[in-house]
Chains A and B, each alone.
Chain A
Amino acid sequence: MKPDWRPGASLETLKARAELLGSIRAFFHARGVMEVDTPILSRHATVDRHIESFHVPGAGLWLHTSPEFAMKRLLAAGSGPIYQLCHVFRAEEAGRWHNPEFLMLEWYRPGWDHHRLMDEVEALMRAVGVGREAAFERLSYREAFRRHAGLDPFSAGLAELREAPVRRGCALPEGLAEPDFADRDLWLDLLMSAAVGPRLGGGTPCFLYDFPASQSALARVRLDDPPVAERFELFWNGTELANGFHELGDAAEQRRRFEADRGWRRERGRAVPPYDANLISALGAGFPDCAGVALGVDRLLMLLRGLPDLAATLAFDSARA
């Protein structure tokens, strides 16, 4: 590729970006949510199975993949409702919908659950010009899979999960090792990317909620039958824009999940970063019941402006940075 000094986004798009950031800040200011600013470099990193951190060699530091741990420590310290707009970094994520460095909006609401936070996400979307009169759709993960993948994600057998992507025009993944081949979540993730996600939120955005407990990440698990993670995602025109949790506040359970994720990584020869023990301490010191959500601002801008890829929303995407 020929080196090009010019920005990937048009000046018009950069102006729209500035206005979007202004609208977001005005929204939270009017609602009494405090803007915070936490470190990008940390001595700890996420151990999430499918999110890779950039390591800064020599310094023993990691670039954060989300401001979640630091913001939760502020919540435990009594900050009240807080939001942050910051760049986050995820190694290996690049494509039409991904850039290894992207702008995230993350906020937390003490005393709220994930349904109440969905109301506020919807209000923010309307404030920046997304959606018309119709209320955003709310679909459970189970209902979305029944509708768009033709199966029940909780009860379908492995064989059915493996056949479903092919029946929907997605080539069967090749070269899977045995533990991955038997991993239900791998097949659910592929179905989500290939069949379910692209059909969500056409025109009017759609919330997906109550995920399988195996995909709880940092969400609470509600002991229904089957148990579900109190987690939601927002889709608009087939694109995932936000992910939120009714946040896990149990220090012991949080430690158990971190250790399990580290074990999973170790078994597969992946990087095993140190997790933030400060977060465990903060949860133990009295973490407020709360809900939190992270939203990809570049993707939101891409959809608002009808742009073909993320690079067209960024002053300089990773190929130009």
Chain B
Amino acid sequence: MSTVSTSDMKAGVKILIDGVPFSIVENEYVKPGKGQAFNRVKIRNLKTGRVIEKTWRSGDSFEAADVEERDLQYLYTDGEFWHFMDPANFEQHTADKTAVGDAAQWLKEQDEVRIMFWNGQPLTVTPPNTVTLKIVETDPGVRGDTVTGGTKPAKLETGAVVKVPLFINEGEVIKVDTRTGEYLSRVK
């Protein structure tokens, strides 16, 4: 078991607190010249994504969390689990609904996603920042209307619903930012 001291807690280092994995977001060492040293640390709960603040005595240490990130190819879902493959060694991995979360609506077969593993099990699934997806359902386009700025909902092949400009038609392929869920452009 390796440990991480407050002085090793650079941003991105993963530690275990009461059995929960956290990632260091920010670590500030504070010490009056003649006084006692503390580290004021912001950490992200890797299960919930929530960021919390902690104050620790400098020199305190925690167990390192066995967390690693890898880019895997999305294969398919059977409704209950999502299946991925590591292109490096063709190993397959299965993630449940908790791990996949909101990423599910952006997952298209063959796309590469980033998966965080904790003790060898997928903990979170992050889709690419932008995805290219086909529109499977939307109201008919308004010909020539490229200037009014109006939008309408469009359902994508992966199930996500995004707002698109009025001139976009069913069957077209668009690029979407998965972090904001916003339409970016039409792909020809």
Contact = CB atoms under 8 A, between A and B. Distances in A.
Interface of A: 48, 50-51, 92-98, 165, 170-176, 180, 185-186, 188-190, 192-194, 197, 215, 217, 233, 240, 243, 296
Given A95-B28, A96-B28, A98-B29, A192 B35 contact: yes
Contacts of A192: 32, 35
A98 B31 contact: yes
B37 A92 contact: yes
Contacts of A95: 27-30
B82 interface: no
Interface in B20-52: 27-38, 40, 52
Contacts of A296: 33
A101 to B, nearest CB: 15
A50 B34 contact: yes
B35 A180 contact: no
B29 A93 contact: yes
B152 to A, nearest CB: 44
Interface string B46-84: 000000111111111000000000000000000000000
Contacts of B38: 173, 189-190, 193
Residue among A172, A185, A190 with the highest chain B CB neighbour number at 10 A: A190
B7 interface: yes
Contacts of A215: 34-35
Interface string B150-179: 000000000000000000000000000000
Give the residue among A95, A97, A185, A296 with the most B Cβ atoms within 10 A: A95
Contact of B36 (A93, A172, A189, A243): A189
Given A50-B37, A171-B53, 18 more contacts: A51-B34, A93-B31, A94-B29, A95-B28, A165-B55, A173-B57, A174-B54, A174-B55, A174-B56, A175-B60, A176-B57, A180-B57, A189-B35, A192-B35, A193-B35, A193-B38, A215-B34, A233-B32
Contacts of A190: 36, 38, 55
A148 to B, nearest CB: 14
B111 to A, nearest CB: 30
A137 B132 CA distance: 61
Contacts of A180: 57
Q: What class of interface size applies to chain B in its complex with A?
A: 20 to 34
A94 B8 CA distance: 10
A192 B31 CA distance: 9
14 contacts: A50-B35, A50-B37, A92-B58, A93-B37, A97-B29, A170-B55, A175-B56, A180-B57, A186-B36, A192-B32, A193-B32, A194-B55, A197-B32, A240-B32
A197 B28 CA distance: 15
A280 B17 CA distance: 47
B40 A170 contact: yes
Nearest to A196: B32
A173 B28 contact: no
Contacts of B7: 92, 94
A190 B28 CA distance: 13
A172 B55 contact: yes
Given A165-B55, A173-B57, A174-B55, A193 B34 contact: no
Contacts of A173: 38, 55-57
Given A93-B37, A170-B40, A193 B31 contact: yes
Contacts of A171: 40, 52-55
A243 B34 CA distance: 8
Nearest to B35: A189
Contacts of A185: 35-36
Contacts of B36: 50, 185-186, 189-190
